Chains A and B, each alone.
Chain A
Amino acid sequence: MSATVKTAGKTAGWVDDRFTSSNFLKRNIGKVFPEHWSFMLGEIALYSFIVVMLSGVYLTLFFKPSMIELAYNGSYVPLKGVKMTEAYASTLNISFDIRGGLLMRQIHHWSALFFVAAISVHLLRVFFTGAFRKPRELNWVIGVGLLTMALLAGFAGYSLPDDLLSGTGLRIAQGIVLSLPLVGTYLSFFIFGGEFPGTDFISRLYAVHILVVPGLILALLTAHLMMVWYQKHTQFPGLGRTNDNVVGYPLLPIYMAKAGGFFFVVFGVITLISGLVTINPIWLYGPYTPDQVTAGSQPDWYIGWLEGSLRMMPNVEWVIFGYTLSWNILVPAVILPGLVFTVMAIYPWIEQWATGDKREHHLLDRPRNAPVRTSLGAMAVSFYVLLWIGGGNDLIASFFDMSINTITWFLRFAIFLVPPLVFVATKRICLGLQRRDRDKLLHGMETGNILRLPHGEFIEVHAPISDEEKAVLMAKPERTPLTMPEEIDENGVAMPGARGARLRAKLSNFYYADNIPLPTREELEAAEAHLRHEVEQAAPAMEEDRRLIPAHDGSVLHDPAIDK
């Protein structure tokens, strides 16, 4: 026995003496995890969050969350003597006077960007593969919570250094708070300790940024991972993979080595980028003052969609009984994000209700096999992208030399017209792919080989698909819409609850009606016989083909009709 194994054994013994842990340990170190590249997205999110925390703790050692005004006296020459808050001055200090400080600031910011990006793409993966279905609905909700918290954390962090951009972002946030009916003005005064900007806000935000939000993220994350562990990871269909098993590598050693190694890869890549590419050079923006702004100022990418919705909204404002209702702010900045996150959070139940599907799902859907869900997702993505483009309309305008007004008007229409078009197009693509899958099952793969048979007919040679592919295609779930219930029973009396049931039947029809059915067993058998026949027919000619084609000078020595 090597020394390592002995030490490990001793440690395990020590723990077991106190916690009866051996059984638990044995069960869990052998836990199987399925593999797929898209399963790494969540991992990236987790690892970037760890990097965010490590670098964030470092920053707290030097950052001073204070709005006391002072005259800058550090080593960044262009700002010498300029009046600024202590928060901004200490961020300059981290960047210019503390060795490695700039690197840690960059790591913190880059890992924050990675974090939000990874969560977002991870969420898309979970959506498009249907991983949110029963029994994982709650984990989906936690995921939506995590996304919200991540956006909040990012915005709060971006606002801490009190440079011109971060202050401008805060001003906009304060304007949004002011627009809230009834409580807005009071809320703003409580948040900022009086009028904007005041001198309290940065230290208050600091507690939110380094304690409250990360604490919530940590709690949600723990629950998230525990659920994944307990319910076991989903897997894609394939040979031997069913709804009742998990196929993959055990935690120790392969999965641990890969996942652990991957943490270092994510951390390393973030660090390299931080060394090489400058992000948020706050020294170029100058200190915040409420009467200055730079053109083309942009928030971090994940806030862009809200910026876009603010920009696109027409200027509707009502005054009722002497009170102001600013729809131009409420709709894009309060109602829209509220709706987006609510619909996102309850989507699993919307789909469940609409389709009547209450079974447990552990096999992931290929997106094409759930065309309506996939199209709804694509529609949502296009909506988001349009808002995001709206957030950069000034950059686009100056880049393409167009008028901002034209772009804004275009977007005001596009936001209603494009998503439905995307829905229709995506659904057609999905159904097309389903048809192709069915063809593959029935006729095998197209090989691109055209063959002339002895009696002169041309056929394209098909090859049978691999067992693995067949298993994947055959795993397509059969989905039948609910049947339309009778409105009146046999006695001619209106059925109670008939309306809800009919709506539901319509919805389930909407979800499932167009699906291309899998071939039946008879169809498959007939097709297989046909394919066998075709292959037999083609075999001699193919054989000849193989013999004749190679010519050492590169020329083709064959009847062109038989050539590829």
Chain B
Amino acid sequence: MTTHENLPATTESAEAAAIEKAAAALPAHRPRRTDVDPKAARRAERQVAAMFLGSALMTVLFVVAFVAIPVDETVYIWGFGTVNASNIALGVTFGLAILLIGTGAIHWSKKLMNEKEEIQLRHPLASSDEEREAAVEAFQTYQADSGFTQRPIIRRSLLTAMVLFPIPMVVLLRDLGPLPGEVLRETLWEPGSRIVIDPTGRPVRPSDLALGGLISAMPADLPEVQEEEGNLNARAKAAIILVRMEPQEIVSQQGDNWDYGGILAFSKICTHVGCPIALYEQRTHHLLCPCHQSTFDLADSGNVVFGPAARRLPQLPITIDPEGFLVAVDGFAEPVGPSFWERGDA
């Protein structure tokens, strides 16, 4: 078959000749088994029909499985382990119901449909020069009719209006959120905040911490604040870890005597892009972030020893209160978590 997309008669015969030529070059069409052997054709016909019927059967089985198998039933299947019975039954029946339609159609097309290759010509995509000129001319006429170029006042004022009119759409977005203000520099920690274990909320005595141990902790008022605010924002900044080492193992700290008897408190939020950190190696005092493996040396001011994080982990100065529980001496001296443009050096 050929397509002549409204071409004049002369080119039409030239086209036919080109197609003729390409067709002569094509390798000879080799008949398939099913083209010459009626038995093979009938067999293929039966195979295709069997696939379509198989699909229908699977659809019926799907409905049966949907109704019959409880949603929480599990089965053990070799190679897959214990799996949800409903999911696997529905997936297999539905999957086969769909797949068999596809394989049937493809088998049909491959074995039985007329499969002669055909040739169509391409035409240069560019229009002729005359057509291009005519288009430009037409545009110029309409342009002149509108007076767009002849009336600069209208043109410029229109452009001004058009440039400005998207502004409301941007302004409308203003109330998406509050301005940052200073909140990224603040956490719940303040002088005297009691340190409690996360998630139990139990206050911590120094003796609760084994040498070389690490626990996650939070300020005592965090659950309350969280309830009140109805979000996890405070938690995302206030989470800390406590570690304990021999006091003489501490090489340096972010402030004088910010430890309490070898117990150190650090922000749990990575200074890279904010993942919580918790992989502690007590021998080296290294704390590793699981996200991009920034490593901080807790015995040495929480400085970065490896990885993409550029800032040390902020340290929280701690002591004990009269009842013997760990408390913060003060809030964090620097913002916790990832850097941000306005952060600067503080």
- In contact, A191 and B176 (Cβ under 8 angstroms): yes
B164 on the A face (CB < 8 A): no
B118 pairs with A250, CB closer than 8 A:
yes
**Across the two chains, which residue of chain A brings its CB closest to B58?**
A268
CB of B282 closer than 8 Å to a CB of A: no
- B122 contacts the other chain (CB 8 A): yes
Q: Are B122 and A195 in contact, with the CB atoms below 8 A? A: no
Known: A245-B119, A262-B106, A322-B344. A267 touches B233 (CB 8 A): no
A13 on interface, CB distance cutoff 8 Å: no
Known: A261-B105, A326-B339. A168 touches B179 (CB 8 A): no
**B186, chain A: closest CB distance, angstroms:** 10
Which residue of chain A is the closest to B277 with respect to CB atoms? A293
Given contacts A311-B293, A360-B125, A404-B293, contact A103 B91 (CB under 8 A): yes
Q: Which of A197, A257, A328 contacts B236 (CB under 8 A)?
A: A197
The CB with the most chain B CB atoms within 10 A, among A190, A232, A291, is that of A291
Partner of A196, one of B105, B233, B342: B233
Check A261 against B308 for contact (C-beta < 8 Å). no
Please tell me if the beta carbons of A242 and B118 are within 8 angstroms of each other in the complex: no
Question: Are A195 and B233 in contact (CB-based, < 8 A)?
Answer: yes
B147 in the interface, Cβ–Cβ < 8 Å? no
Question: Which of B184, B291, B342 is packed against the most chain A CB atoms within 10 Å?
Answer: B291
Contact: A328 with B309, CB < 8 Å? Answer: yes
The one of B22, B95, B338 in contact with A240, judged by C-beta atoms closer than 8 angstroms, is B22
Task: List the B side residues contacting A242 at CB < 8 Å.
Answer: 22
Q: How distant is the Cα of A422 from the Cα of B342 in the complex, in angstroms?
A: 42
Q: Which residues of B contact A247 (CB under 8 A)?
A: 22, 26, 117-119
Task: List B contacts of A510 (CB < 8 A).
Answer: none
Interface pair A324/B106, CB less than 8 Å apart? no
Within 8 Å CB of A192, what residues of B? 177
Of A179, A182, A268, A291, which contacts B239 at CB under 8 A?
A291
Which of chain A's residues have a CB closer than 8 A to the CB of B102? 261-268
In angstroms, Cα B341 to Cα A329, docked, is 12
Chain B minimum-CB-distance residue to A204: B176
**Chain A: minimal CB distance from B200 (Å):** 14
Question: Is there a chain A Cβ closer than 8 Å to B204's Cβ?
Answer: no
A518 sits at the interface (CB 8 A): no
Q: Tell whether A189 pairs with B235 under 8 Å between CB atoms, given A264-B98, A265-B99, A317-B339.
A: no
Which residue among B97, B232, B277 has the maximum number of chain A CB atoms within 10 Å of its CB? B232
- Does A493 touch B at the CB level, under 8 Å? no
Q: A99 with B66: in contact, given A261-B104, A315-B308 (CB under 8 Å)? A: yes
Contact between chains at A179 and B177 (CB < 8 Å): no
A196 in contact with B103 given A103-B91, A245-B120, A258-B109 (CB within 8 Å) = no
* Cα-based distance from A246 to B19 in the complex (angstroms): 10
| Min CB gap A250→B, angstroms | 6
How many chain B residues sit at the interface, stated as a range, is 35 or more
Is B16 interfacial (CB 8 A cutoff)? no
> Which of A269-277, A340-348, A455-463, A477-485 binds B?
A269-277
Q: Which residues of B contact A264 (CB under 8 A)?
A: 98-99, 101-103, 105
A202 to B109: give the CA distance in the assembly, Å.
47
User: Is B159 interfacial (CB-CB < 8 Å)?
Assistant: no
Smallest CB–CB gap between B114 and chain A, Å?
Answer: 8
A350–chain B nearest beta-carbon distance, Å: 22
Residues in chain A near residue B176, CB distance under 8 A: 190-191, 193
Q: Which of B262-281 contact A (CB under 8 A)?
A: 268-269, 272-279
Most buried by A among B72, B83, B293, B338: B338
Asked if A374 lies at the interface with its beta carbon under 8 angstroms from chain B, I say no
A170-178, A428-436, A439-447, A543-551 - the one binding chain B: A170-178
Task: Report if B325 contacts A (CB, 8 A).
Answer: no
Q: Which residue of chain B is the closest to A248 with respect to CB atoms?
A: B117
Residues in A321-368 with C-beta less than 8 Å from chain B: 322-326, 328-329, 332, 360, 362
Interface pick from A111-119, A294-302, A379-387, A497-505: A294-302
Q: A254 in the interface, Cβ–Cβ < 8 Å?
A: yes
Cα(A326)–Cα(B92), bound, Å: 50
Q: Is B88 an interface residue (CB 8 A)?
A: yes
Give the complex CA separation of A73 and B27 in angstroms.
Answer: 69
Contact of B276 among A135, A291, A312 (CB under 8 A): A291
Q: A118: shortest Cβ distance to chain B, in Å?
A: 16
Contact of A194 with B341 in the complex, beta carbons under 8 Å: no
CA gap between A326 and B304 in the complex, in Å: 15
A232 touching B122 by the CB < 8 A rule?
yes
Give bound CA distance, A387 to B345, whole Å.
Answer: 31
B173 within 8 A of A: yes
Minimum CB–CB distance from B226 to chain A (whole Å) comes to: 9
Nearest Cβ on chain A to B215's Cβ, whole angstroms: 12
* Whole-angstrom CA separation of A70 from B260 in the bound complex: 38
Q: When the two chains form their complex, are residues B276 and A293 in contact, meaning their CB atoms are under 8 A apart? A: yes
Q: Is A317 in contact with B311, judged by CB distance below 8 angstroms?
A: yes
Q: Is A231 an interface residue (CB 8 A)?
A: yes
Smallest distance from the beta carbon of B124 to chain A beta carbons, Å? 7
Given A30-B3, A315-B307, A96:B340 Cβ within 8 A:
no
Say yes or no: B290 contacts A295, CB within 8 Å: yes
Nearest first, the 5 A-B pairs at minimum CB distance are: A275-B91, A175-B273, A268-B99, A264-B102, A261-B105
| 26 cross-chain CB contacts under 8 A | A31-B120, A96-B72, A98-B71, A99-B71, A103-B94, A186-B180, A189-B178, A245-B122, A248-B117, A253-B113, A257-B113, A261-B101, A263-B102, A264-B99, A264-B103, A265-B102, A268-B96, A268-B99, A268-B100, A275-B95, A276-B88, A291-B216, A315-B309, A317-B311, A323-B342, A326-B338
* Apart from A184-B341, A326-B339, 6 more pairs, CB < 8 Å: A32-B120, A179-B338, A261-B108, A270-B95, A276-B91, A468-B27
Q: Which residues of A contact B (CB under 8 A)?
A: 27, 30-32, 67-69, 75, 96-100, 102-103, 106, 135, 168, 171-172, 174-176, 178-186, 188-200, 231-232, 239-250, 253-254, 257-258, 260-276, 278, 289-297, 307, 310-317, 319, 322-326, 328-329, 332, 360, 362, 393-394, 404-405, 408, 467-468, 471
